[in-house]
Structure 1
Amino acid sequence: MIELAISAAKEAGKILLENFGKIEQVDRKGERELVSNVDLASEKKIIDMIKSKYPDHDILCEESGLQERASDYRWIIDPMDGTHNYIYGINMFGVSIALEYKGEIILGVINLPYSNELYWAEKGKGAYFNDERIYVSKRGMKNALAIYDSGLYKETTHRTGFLANIVGKIFNIRVFGASTRHLTYVARGSADLQIEYGDKPWDFAAGGLLVEEAGGKITQLDGSKWNIYVESYISSNGVFHDEIVDLYKNYAEQSLKDQ
């Protein structure tokens, strides 16, 4: 199954690369969400490849939604993560494919085609980047590079308020506009912490497994166990994860008092 996921991610990545800078059609699917003809072509390629080998499997996609066949297996697909980057000519975008078995993510593949980066992981078998085993960093909070994406939603003030609480406790902060990029940076040790708001299952199902298999940690903001249905989460190298969770809890508690 991992071979199929890798092949599908590569083929979808070719579609993204071939059309980068040549977007013909962009539609709105929400107040701040865009979808292009390339998203749809990439998604169709992945679905067709999966259906040709596993026609009875369930499929959950960003654009076409859930195709349910009462299977224990469900593929979770983001045919183009970082759509806004892609549409605006920013080269940080990727393909994410995960496979869930009885509610547990058992494999994940991320292809970042512009930079020729392929990541994959299987449950209990480690995480890999272009055939090399990868591990999270061992840096502590003081020297940490963090990725913080609050999204542009109604709750933005609350979310950026928490950022102000940690900015003086870490080394630096970045935002790249694509969960696939954020999670792979944590998994390979380029970043030490990621705080993400407003994600969907297809955004981080594969990347969450990558982080765990690379030795990192991912939880909900309050430290409880993550699952693909939570929209906000913390991923990290695990070294100072609990400290970040405590900071968030204290901030959330104080925010309630101040209301």
Structure 2
Amino acid sequence: MTNPYINIASEAARQAGGLMRKFSQRLESIPVERKARNDYVSDVDRACEQAIRQYILKHHRDHAIQGEEMGQQGDSEYLWIIDPLDGTSNYLRGIPHYAVSIALQIRGRIEHGVIYDPMRDEMFTASRGEGAFLNNQRIRVSGRKDLSTAVLGTAFPFRKRRLMSAYQGMFDALFEKSEDFRRAGSAALDLAYVACGRLDGYFELALQPWDIAAGALMVQEAGGVVMDVNGGERWLESGHIIAAPFKLVTPIRHAIAPHVTEGMKARLS
């Protein structure tokens, strides 16, 4: 893929991935700060975000950037949405499953996205209308047509534990109907895996834009469908997301619909 925005995001992601690999040699000495219960930020997160910001601004000084650790900088129709290290908990424990996620939103719509797994050297990329790719090879969502044979990805709403009861109902309903579940610890990689067919679908609650912006575009460009828990398109605002091939997304939504709370609906209204 030769899109200049994808090239910038890919190189920024590779630089961040290099920092992750470097710091991974001394995990026990990395300073870690607790942002909230079970939510941590390390010096590696901050160093990676700083590297990404510097690389983007080197090429587009007038663009705005929204990052998980440093908030939003600048005001522009071009907004880069970045998660410098999605899967911090995995990283700090030496579990080799985490990623960099970078998306570019132009005039309110996600147009480009990159997710980079530095441990496997896998670069997922997507641009609106141009398809989705893994290391420059086109990818497609799973061809699975029946929920009973589907393996789904998910994660617990650990930042919003008040949603756990509703989530448990959703999980139970889908677990009853699907083949199995995976909970690997990186929303960005879960979405990338849906895009390339490793997972047959994915749902999660209470995510942030930087968790899902790039991955959702990737699923769409790989032929899949992304929606919020009410079947609408406000997944980026609500953080409640379903992503799956066309044949599976409606059965997933129907299974979880009885457990969608009024609070979730209000957030989507």
Q: TM-score, normalised by structure 1?
A: 0.94
* Alpha-carbon displacement from aligned partner over 1:128-176 (angstroms, at most 9, x marks no partner): 0011000001112111001121222222122112111121211111100
Tell me, yes or no, if the aligned pair for 1:218 and 1:226 is still in contact at 8 Å: no
In structure 1, what is the Cα distance between the partners aligned to 2:63 and 2:238?
23
**1:87 maps to 2:95:** no
Structure 1 segments of 4 or more deviating over 4 A? Answer: none
The unaligned stretches of length 5 or more in structure 1 are 255-259
What's the CA shift for 1:72? 0.9
- Partner letter of residue 237 of structure 2? Y
Counterpart of 2:147 (choices 131, 141, 144) is 141
Counterpart in the other structure of 2:115 = 110
Counterpart in the other structure of 1:193 = 201
**1:204 maps to 2:209:** no
Mean CA deviation greater in 158-167 or 203-212: 158-167
In structure 2, what is the Cα distance between the partners aligned to 1:252 and 1:83?
29
Identity, % of aligned positions: 34
What's the CA shift for 1:198? 2.1
How do 1:110-259 and structure 2 match up within 5 A? 110-139=115-144, 140-152=146-158, 153-252=161-260
The DSSP-based 3-state class of the residue aligned with 2:232 is coil
Tell me, yes or no, if the aligned pair for 1:222 and 1:248 is still in contact at 8 Å: no
Task: Compare the two structures and name the one with the higher helix fraction.
Answer: 2
Counterpart of 2:104 (choices 94, 99, 102) is 99
Counterpart in the other structure of 1:257 = none
Tell me, yes or no, if the aligned pair for 1:189 and 1:237 is still in contact at 8 Å: no
Going from structure 1 to structure 2, the CA distance change for 1:253 and 1:75 (only over 3 Å counts) comes to closer
The count of corresponding residues between Structure 1 and Structure 2 is 254
What's the CA shift for 1:21? 4.7
- Partner letter of residue 5 of structure 1? A
In structure 1, what is the Cα distance between the partners aligned to 2:78 and 2:111?
10
CA RMSD of aligned residues (A): 1.6
* Alpha-carbon displacement from aligned partner over 1:9-38 (angstroms, at most 9, x marks no partner): 111111111112523200011122100000
Mean CA deviation greater in 244-253 or 222-231: 244-253
- Partner letter of residue 48 of structure 2? S
- Partner letter of residue 75 of structure 1? W
The unaligned stretches of length 5 or more in structure 2 are 263-269
What's the CA shift for 1:227? 4.2
Mean CA deviation greater in 149-158 or 12-21: 149-158
